[in-house]
Structure 1
Amino acid sequence: MKYSFAIASALLLIPSTLALAPSKRAIIPFFNPVLGGGSWLDNAGSGGGEPLNVVISAFSSAAVLTDDGILNYARAIGFSNECFNIHLGDPQSANLGDGHGAVNQTIELRQDFGDAALGTCLESLIGGNHFRVYRQNGPLANTGALFLAVSKEENVTENHTISPDGYDVGRDSLVAAAVGQTSFGGVDYTTTSQTLLNEMPAGATGVNHGIAVDGTVVLLTVTITS
């Protein structure tokens, strides 16, 4: 049994086994970006990166993993489009080790304070939580999992810089809002979480703004229940 488990674990680390056709069910919840030459940090364009500290599992309902699906789910947990869909600053990119190399974020979503239409305008003024979304769908690891770079930021007078300990705090705040039952737009969700300790390097090396992280990634599995 011990050797069978070791062999099975080793097979999961071979990228070629993870080249999944889009129509097929994922066989793992995500592929570790580092194993494919990627990183758990995105590229913030300033010599550092933001941690990909939450992953929405490929075992989630397929509709959640689409562009429209992640937006509706985000609204169910307190996030929405940027204020008037206006984005300031260049998009950040990430290499998820899936064979695509560095790819720009799919979308950036901000805390909406209970108002999906205009609440993110308040976040732009007073600060709050926000996250960037990256999809793992390259030829080496077509899992469909969504990697989120979550962080809490300061208000506009502080130029939206990341709050002290803002990466870990932002992650934990999003997870607290997500776990359990939520709904939006007539879609009901159940979300479970798994804490992956030391999944990424802890500390401040390479991290944007020199803010240390604890090395933890939280894996969310989101199921549509109606």
Structure 2
Amino acid sequence: MFALRALLSLLTLQAGFCATLQGRAVDFFNPTAGGGSMLDNAGSGGGEPLNVIISGLSSPDVLTDDGIVNFARAIGFSTECFGVHLGDPQSANLGDGDGWVNQTIELREDYGDADAGTCLESLVGGNHFRVYRQNGPTANSGALFLAVSQEENVSQGHTIAPDGYGIGRDRLVSSAIGKTSFGGVSYTTSAKNLTGLLAPGSNGINHGIATDGITTLLTVTIN
């Protein structure tokens, strides 16, 4: 009986430890560790790299749907032109137990006008990103994984620009770091480049565009 009680106690402790591990405050969990991928599914046999991560250690309000939209507006992006999205949503598996889940939202460069500027981006091209949230039952970091890319104008079919994944990432990060604000909310953002999450090169990448393998981690704090 004593041995049985000891075994049950040990199993309870292990279960509690695992629950703490999966729900603790961390930047993010590596999707591949949970059977996921650092490439989304673009629906054309390739994927777009998840090349920016907004840390789960960011201010909690940043990580909500409304919060990421407001932060995006602080760094030069906004919701799609009149809320209209052309094309099918892309999905990502962040290794959190939820499998492949469609993008939460897509945000586009607003050219200085948060209300209607994305209509211009839809015509002339520019930077844009898709948002995926890591909040499944086995890896609930709350982090936001972004697939960022620079795209061509409408006459080019909105295809990704040459080196568009690297250019898009670097432009977004440049706009984000330091102090920004929108709608009465002020942010301070720090950045750290990570290697080892994405393989450099073009293998599996949508449009066969090679990348440098760098993912940038942003930590966004509301002041």
TM-score of the pair, normalised by structure 1: 0.90
Q: Is the 8 A contact 1:98 1:138 kept in 2?
A: yes
- Aligned partner of 2:167 in structure 1 is 169
Q: Is the 8 A contact 1:15 1:36 kept in 2?
A: no
The one-letter code of the counterpart of 2:170 is D
- Aligned partner of 2:108 in structure 1 is 110
Q: Is the 8 A contact 1:15 1:141 kept in 2?
A: no
Give the percent of matched residue pairs that are identical in Structure 1 and Structure 2.
70
Q: Is the 8 A contact 1:188 1:224 kept in 2?
A: yes
- Aligned partner of 2:22 in structure 1 is 19
Q: Is the 8 A contact 1:16 1:141 kept in 2?
A: no
Could you give the per-residue CA deviations for residues 24-52 of structure 1, whole angstroms, max 9, x where no partner exists?
xx421000000000000000000000000
Q: Is the 8 A contact 1:190 1:223 kept in 2?
A: yes
Trace 1:112-131 onto structure 2 (pairs within 5 A).
112-131=110-129
Trace 1:1-226 onto structure 2 (pairs within 5 A).
18-20=21-23, 26-225=24-223
Residue 17 of structure 1, CA deviation: 5.1
Residue 18 of structure 1, CA deviation: 3.6
Report the Cα distance in structure 2 between the residues aligned to 1:15 and 1:71, rounded to whole angstroms.
Answer: 33
| Runs of 4+ that moved beyond 4 A | 14-17
Q: Decide which moves more: 107-116 or 195-204.
A: 195-204
Compare CA radii of gyration and give the structure with the larger one. 2
Tell me the secondary structure at the aligned position of residue 210 of structure 2.
Answer: coil
Q: Is the 8 A contact 1:100 1:139 kept in 2?
A: yes
CA RMSD of aligned residues (A): 1.2
Report the Cα distance in structure 1 between the residues aligned to 2:194 and 2:25, rounded to whole angstroms.
Answer: 18
Q: Is the 8 A contact 1:198 1:214 kept in 2?
A: no
Which consecutive residues of structure 1, in runs of 5 or more, have no partner in the other structure? Answer: 1-13, 21-25
Report the Cα distance in structure 1 between the residues aligned to 2:87 and 2:207, rounded to whole angstroms.
Answer: 16
Report the Cα distance in structure 2 between the residues aligned to 1:131 and 1:211, rounded to whole angstroms.
Answer: 17
Residue 209 of structure 1, CA deviation: 0.2
The one-letter code of the counterpart of 2:22 is A
Tell me the secondary structure at the aligned position of residue 63 of structure 1.
Answer: helix
Residue 189 of structure 1, CA deviation: 0.2
Report the Cα distance in structure 2 between the residues aligned to 1:113 and 1:166, rounded to whole angstroms.
Answer: 18
Number of residue pairs matched?
Answer: 207
Report the Cα distance in structure 1 between the residues aligned to 2:212 and 2:116, rounded to whole angstroms.
Answer: 33
Which consecutive residues of structure 2, in runs of 5 or more, have no partner in the other structure? Answer: 1-16
